[in-house]
Amino acid sequence: MRRFERKEVPEVLSKTVYGKPRWEEFGERYAQNRVKNNSFAFQWPQIEGKKLNQLLLPDLMAMTEKHCSYCDGFPLKRGDDTIDHFHPKTHPAYYQEVCKWENLYIACKHCQDSKGSQFEMALLRPDAIDYEFYRFFIYDYNSHILLPNPQALEEEKASAEATIRIFDLNHISMCISRRHAFERFRKDEEPFLSDYNFRFMFDD
């Protein structure tokens, strides 16, 4: 998980509709439908004939330079460019955040499938002001696994452990892909960092 800076709320979400930001209107509408029918399935609202997720993808991808927000996988293939709801849209406490900008993250299929509707308060956000990779994690360059930083505070270790587990960041396929990226980086005479996945391996 590599830190990125979240940009301002896009106008497509902040625009006032019926006296409130559009994202609030969408959230309230979804919450009302879920209360009436607990099995109501969320569908992205349409704005001028285009689905909201398609309108948001360019901004979300720009923030991460087209990398997965969670594992930093790159490049995102068809089916990988999905939007994750950090606070699950199926949890009653978060119904109204279904279109909230700060709750939306671009995610690869691995991270989306691994997380599903799971959520724990300890889970780390890559755009949190106080998040830095080496504050919470260490990287083993031999096994290519992520580990909680042994020097971190206990609550920080718990956050690292929850993040690794929920996103399955040490799945064997992840470790192999990170090894390949590391080996490629070492051989590259003029590496362009944005073209690499798992860039946290190379950050100072």
80 domain residue, yes or no: yes
Question: Residue 118's domain spans which residues?
Answer: 11-201
4 domain residue, yes or no: no
99 domain residue, yes or no: yes
Cut 0.85: pTM above it: yes
110 domain residue, yes or no: yes
Instruction: Give the pLDDT band (50/70/90) at residue 78.
Output: confident
Answer yes or no: are the C-beta atoms of 137 and 156 closer than 8 Å: no
Rounded CA separation 11/1 (Å): 27
Q: What is the CA radius of gyration of the chain?
A: 18
Task: Please give the average per-residue pLDDT across 73-96, as a whole number.
Answer: 90
Answer yes or no: are the C-beta atoms of 71 and 170 closer than 8 Å: no
**pLDDT at position 80 over 70:** no
pLDDT at 17: 82
Instruction: Give the pLDDT band (50/70/90) at residue 199.
Output: very high
5 domain residue, yes or no: no
The DSSP symbol for 9 reads P
**pLDDT at position 83 over 80:** yes
Rounded CA separation 56/45 (Å): 12
**Which of 55, 103, 60, 52 is closest to 80 using CA atoms?**
60
77 domain residue, yes or no: yes
pLDDT at 142: 95
Rounded CA separation 105/60 (Å): 7
Domain tally for the chain?
Answer: 1
Structure tokens at 24: 């609030």
Task: Provide the residue type at 149 as one letter.
Answer: N
3-class DSSP string for 38-87: CCCCCCCCEECCEEHHHHHHHHHHHHCCCCCCCCCCCCCCCCCCEEEECC
pLDDT at 51: 94
79 domain residue, yes or no: yes
Find all residues with CB under 8 Å of 115, minimum gap 6, and list them.
Answer: 70, 84, 107, 166, 167
Answer yes or no: are the C-beta atoms of 163 and 123 closer than 8 Å: yes
1 domain residue, yes or no: no
